[in-house]
Structure 1
Amino acid sequence: MAKNITATIKQFFSIKNLLLILLLFALAGGTFETLNYLWKEKEQSVRTDLKEYQKTVLENESELLSAQLVNYVVRGKELARARIFRLAMDGLKSAKKKEVRKAQEDFNNFVKVSGYSAGCLFEPDGNIFASTDVPEEIVGRGYKEAVLNTLHSRTPLFLPLRTKGNDLVADLFIPVYDAYATSTATPPSRVLMLEVPMTAMLRTFLGSERTFKYESSIHLIQKNGKASEEATFNYPNILKLQTMKVSFEGVNEVLFGERANLSQDKKVYSSARFIPVVNWWVMIETATAVPNRIISIYQQESIIFASLLLAAMIFFVLTVRFIASTRKYHRKSSRLEEKIPTLQKELSLLRIINNSLPEPVTLKKSEDGAFIHVNKSFTDFTGLKQTEALNLTDNQVFDHHEAETLSHGDQMVTMSNSPYSEELVMTRGSSKSTIQVTFVPCTVDEENDAILTVYRDVTSEKSVSERGIEVRQQVINALIRAVESVPFLDGHTSLMRKLALEIAETLLLSDADCATVEAAAILSQVGKTFVPREIMEKEGKLTPEEIKETQRYIEHTCKILEGVEFDLPITQTIWQMQENLDGSGYPNKLEGRSISTLARILGVTNTFSALVQKRSYRKANTARQAVDILQSMADVKYDSTVIEALGAVIETKSGKAILQESQVEI
């Protein structure tokens, strides 16, 4: 009996069984650790989801509020800019009572129709010029500082929310310019204060019927001096401003985090976004108990699932403990033995292909740039043996300039983890070659730990390309010389090109647009060589047929350029340069936005260049006279923005130099 018990104990505590017990303990411990990890991940996931949700809500709500505020600003600016409004306000200065009464009625109507509850027009010194409310009430609010700030900044200004009866309103100050002012460079003549009704907008924003994920609540706080006020509902459904226990003074941002709520009575997760134009904070709060409850439910469910899974795993281990280990390793070894001949053959083929490539190829470490493989073409290219090249770097194989260029390519690949190409001029003896070097990130031991470099000689291709560009430029130069020989066009193209480029740069257009408008200006007059000379030299008034013939120069120009391949929309720009905003231009009678900005620039500079040149029937205009003539057709035929840019250009040092070079008087 004792022997049987001893044998049973020895059998139970055999090495295999001890290992199995250790495995079971490991499974239990692993399950426990996995649960802890999953719980932490879930907690992090819930908080991350809550953070992203609050961020999304804040962005959406802030953008919604900002859009509504901007709408009020836009309407206010449109009202202030309206010529009829400014003319009506001038009527308030009339000595006739009837006209003053009519102007006051117009002022009241303009304010109400625009969606504002009240309005007031201030003089620059802060005195009231006109008002829809009792002036004594307005004076008591102390608006003088806001008036002065608006005059100084020339931008709209919002004051903090204030209570008016049972409503909340905000005062919007907008600069008003004289009725005959042509630009905002003129100081504002008055300041318009518009009382913006905020109750409906904020009631919708803070409405109790709105529901948010995670039982979150949204709040609106405004900075009023050093104090902070929250817009809240008062019974039954009236909005009021309530001074807060916490202050937002000096706070630049409120990031997502755990803190006390605004009422200071419980812990919440909160974040806020600032709307600077009105000094408002939009805050969202979520009680910490809500995500904690979600995490607690997940923990209970995961414990049940883990218990079932652990039981299944133990059963599986006890069932297949021996069979799984022996058969698995046997199958793996058999498969590897079968693949070895195939892999050896593939490796041999890769070596043959690599050494047969005509382009030099290297594989180097990303960390230190040492070569770990080079092909035969590379050894022929550098004059090194394959064994000599290994473990060398670019600095040891190439000269300083070439090595710097190759190092730059390595850096670009390392930073972007994507292929990169660069051209490199290499000197070997007395000959120079243009080499296109392609860098490709590769993985040897770790991800992207090596760089594959391919060198391709593109000297012949580049030479052919450069010769083609040179021939094309010579053709273009010949066309320009032919244009400059046409009567009335001497210097016209040059002046157009320089002014068009200056205007494009003044309007902050892209490099591609600047290049397009310059090239289009150079080529725009080529078609005039096909207009009969007797028409171009005619001193009297042209007949309708002759005018139609001269207008065909655009068609001639584009036909000449039809076979030339440009990477930029040069031909399209020339085709539209004689179109007018009102549709009176040619050849297609385009209107408004159908005409590109670049074509508008060419149209203005073309007309300007013609105006400042002498004709048989008139003397040459000065530059400023030409701009005034164009200004008289602003937004009718020509773009006012382009004309203003031209006016600014001719007043600059570079603009005056261009005019002086073209012998044009300022």
Structure 2
Amino acid sequence: MAQNMTPQPVDIATVGTTQKRSRLVAFGVGTLIVAVALVSFWAYKEVRSTEVKLEERLSDRAKILVDDRVAAVDTQVNGLKNAASRLLEAPMFTFFAAEVNNYKGDIGVLIAPEKRDNGAAPADKDALDKLMDNVPLMVVTLRDFCQGEGFVAGRIVNAQGNTYLSTMATTPALSDAEQRRVASVVETGKAVVSPVYTSSFGLVHDLVLPIFPPAFETQARPVSVLLLTKAVTGKNNLSELVQTTTVAGEGFAVKFIQKITDGYEKLELGSGSLSKVAAPAGITEDTLPFGVRLSVGGGEDVYSAGRRIPGTDWWIVQERSYLASRIDYHEAVQRIIILAVLASLVLALVVSVFWWRLVGKEQEEIAGQFRDLCGVIGDQKQLLDGINGTIKDPISMTDETGVYRYVNKAFGLAVSRSPEEVEGLDTKAVFGFDTAKRLRISDQKIIDGADSVTIDETIWLQSKRHFFQISKAGLKDEEGKLTGIVSVFRDITAQVEAQERGSRMVQQTIHALVRAIEASDPFLGGHSRIMGQIAVGIAKTLGLSNRDVATVEAAASLSQIGKMFVPREVLTKPGALTEDEKKIMEQHVEYAREVLKDIEFELPVLEAVYQMNERLDGEGYPQKLTGEQIGMPARVLAVANAFTAMARPRSYRAAIPVEKALSILKEDSSDYDASVVSALGKVLQTPEGERIVAQAAASQAL
């Protein structure tokens, strides 16, 4: 019994080794958990970032498409308003409307002579005879205008809503809605665009405009109203405008809806019919913010955004299928997960190696476990090699001489060879001499010690141009020696081509706006062209950057766009303007800003146009900027604009000679930049400058 009670000796070395091993195991497991957690956090952030970027790209594209179509419809509506306004400003219409307004009898006989009451008082009879004598000419004029501008019908009614001129053989009475629109125009004196509705002409909408009495009469309210009816379907009409765009749609579908008294209606662009729909979720007074919601009219969930067309109850909505939009996102998520798994395995390997070195080679048991772990990792590497073959981005590894040691399946597909055929070839054999030479430049940076290099490269594959973003990193051994260069090729052709289309769209927008200026007022268009030639010459003489020269050229073309909205009697008044008229004239800057603010020029065009009327001494408008607060493009435009105005003849004066115009600008040194005025003088001494001056002097006076 005593022997059984004797304590057994404890092997202190064994206990210490066990405790040390336990601590190393805990350290290794903890390090691995932290590493996997960091990789998981990175993967989560990348997935979230990818989703945010997807929705930002879709939002930007939807906004561009909406703005493009809204601008097209708004331009047509304003063009029709302007054309109709010019017709209604003709004396024959204003005088006739005033005479009808003063006539106290039944004006219905003007379109139904058979109802004429021959027993009327002599004074009424004479007035009626005078009116009826003018009716045929007025009807022909109105009918010719409607045919020329694409309206299917037109009628003129008095302030009480009674029709007295019409292009229709049989003129129906005004509906309640038409009566309300007529009353609104008479009350406010402002034009109204009606919702789309069904009529005997099919789907149409009305343009309702006020007719004011002649200027010498004291009455300020409209005396009559012009109703113009325009078909919605057909060439150059609303349906075609909504479906046509200068911007690539990238899977977006356009929807046209309108707000009515009791909700919303959708115009079916294909069949040309109207149907009631629920209000889109989140819609406000003027916008439908970008987001995920049910498609207009029901069906699937979509990404959509929209905007109301100014001055109407019409809305343009762009939609793209939610599921179709997220296909690329799901593929990106798959790649991120694969990379995260790969990174986790690599980290596991690194931690295992570090752990093995701490424990020591003499511990056979741990060494055996490490060999088992390496075997597992080898099996998992084979699995990852299989997964890597499914990644769509081409991946390669070259040695320091540019010979390919490994390429994935996507790389082989890109160069039309199998991975086995590519391995062993150098970059010259795969891509050709010139491309290989450019790629070797970035390889050399890695060889010289750079951790990573990212380049954008154009490569022709299978007779097609591709834009690649190539990321390169060095692969090093445990001693830090470079053993290879890993390259990941990301095809960004779609993004680059989208940017190029965006630049072309901006140029098309500028040309469209310039054509709108010329169509509205040829004098303003001529002023813009001459001013642009002078401004570009000044900018180049001053040695401004290519970006500033492009800004000056675009801003000069659009500098007069705000004056399209200034009353013509103020714009063309000879002599000095009154203080009130100056305030009206200065509003053209705000009009220009409203027209241009939503256009993405990629240049400070809006800033230049908005500042060109500022003066160095702070006496300009609209912000009273001084000195260096005014950008150089705006200073160039200010001098070019002032000189062009003096160099062109006006109805009340001849063109001012060049020497005198330059003298005036030099004297106004507190207004204009002296260096810009000096550059103008140099431009005018060149043959091109002399040609521009001759062109300005020969232009038609306003």
TM-score normalised over the length of structure 1: 0.45
* Larger gyration radius, structure 1 or structure 2: 1
Higher relative contact order (CA 8 A, sep 6+): 2
TM-score normalised over the length of structure 2: 0.43
